[in-house]
Chain A
């Protein structure tokens, strides 16, 4: 008997039944407007964010400044206004979007890999590692840039988590999560030691970095975050359907023909790269990577073919929104990590009350 047994030997195999098509169309129709809205949301929010701020700029001026990038003659008369938009707000909005994209994209991928809707992209110890890198750089090694140190230590933390999980034999879900907790605890303790020893002026900049902010955004940081998005998230987006099978469990995915061990390493490495680069320019911004995929899953369902791209879009939109609030809430720049944490907790209470068991993925 041939392995390529043909299934279509059913009497109605040439055309799917009318009822099948109708049901499929209805389900898709319901989701299409929501999906489109989520896809355009980062652009809408970015547009709003460009003319909101301490210095009021009219939408027309924003348009002319953006147009000036393409057609040089269009620049607004005010050089100052143009500079505020192009050198301060635009890189900041794009940076927030890219970091939101990285965190949310990594969150949705790791939730699938670890088969748990409550996993966030920080579970493998990246923020703890990056914090230690920052603290070392600020406190003792001023010659080493904070961003480089944060990236290197973030990746080192994931490496340690993975290596520690490997001592248990097969690298499977539970040892990875436990190792992540241990590595995070260790690195956090090291950060505390440095905070205790370092002089108070330096302590302040460490604490500020730990809270996460885009107030120092520039085009160089945008390039770093973009590198993480391109290198880390492109393979992940291409492989996203595999997450459906992997989330059913290792044995089942293998029986379906998925190379689980290889794919899991690819997913973990790629998302770690994106998150480490994002964290290195933004500091620690919690909750986004957990909340954004969760909300999108509630709206459009768990199929990763749609869930992954829409989570990317909504993560970017949400981060730009949170940063716009952070810039405009008070007369000074509140660290955006505080805003996302303040929004995150009530959001989860809302989830628990509204969706019950279903929203936790069961």
Chain B
């Protein structure tokens, strides 16, 4: 997926939120977008998901201009995993995952046997079998996030967008969710693009990192090259040291006690 020259401005504002964003998301790999609050991460996410129309720029996947597609066509290329939320009705996990088939089912019909089968396989891939008939509103935040990933998988799109998939999760669930997403990306060659808050998670799980600040791309490349003392100081205004341990790198902020 190639993003080039993406610019976004709210209709009544005079300052663009995104200015000339360009980057390549690596095919079949984990791509992380990092940046502080207000850097335009969420806006970029909404533009890529097709929910907001940018003023200029293109998003291409192969020969296809994603921004010009209808919701239905776009949803066959891009599956979106939204942030954790509570729906108004207590659907079962099976019902929620089956929703991923909406783009493949006609407006006047219900999902068929094949759709149910694909949804079940997605549920099994994420090891959620034991939750099949559990109410989506009564499972843990980590399980909910995995259910939404399963739904995106049932959508069978080659690109997966995740909006801060770890923001509501505890330490263990953060590692579990990102681990599963990475396994899926590798097994199936799905291009994953996700926004993240924690540079350490990007170092652990991403193959490619894009650092955003004030609506512009500051750096884009392999995480170990992009996430450095200098970039983190420039973007977050936080002094950090990079620690090395067994070939992995860890960001440790300097905090005065």
Contact = CB atoms under 8 A, between A and B. Distances in A.
Contacts of B79: 255
Interface of A is mostly: loop
Interface string A293-332: 0000100011101000000000000000000000000000
B91 A255 contact: no
Contact of A8 (B49, B91, B118, B130): B118
Q: On chain B, which size bracket covers the interface?
A: 35 or more
A245 B102 contact: yes
A19 B72 CA distance: 34
Contact of A303 (B62, B77, B92): B92
Interface residues of A, number: 54
Contacts of B137: 358, 362
B229 interface: no
B118 A257 contact: no
A248 interface: yes
Nearest to B79: A255
A314 to B, nearest CB: 17
B253 interface: no
A155 B105 CA distance: 32
Given A4-B156, A9-B188, A303 B125 contact: no
B107 A242 contact: yes
21 contacts: A3-B157, A3-B158, A5-B157, A5-B190, A7-B156, A9-B188, A20-B123, A24-B94, A241-B110, A248-B87, A254-B75, A255-B80, A256-B102, A257-B74, A257-B102, A258-B72, A259-B107, A302-B91, A303-B91, A361-B88, A362-B90
Interface of B: 27-28, 49-51, 62, 70-72, 74-80, 82, 85-92, 94-95, 98-100, 102-105, 107-111, 117-118, 120-125, 129-130, 132-133, 137, 153-158, 187-191
Given A1-B191, A8-B121, A20-B132, 18 more contacts: A1-B158, A5-B156, A5-B158, A5-B190, A6-B156, A9-B188, A24-B94, A27-B132, A116-B88, A244-B95, A247-B87, A249-B85, A249-B87, A256-B103, A257-B76, A258-B71, A362-B88, A362-B137
Nearest 5 CB-CB pairings of A with B: A257-B103, A257-B75, A302-B89, A255-B80, A27-B133
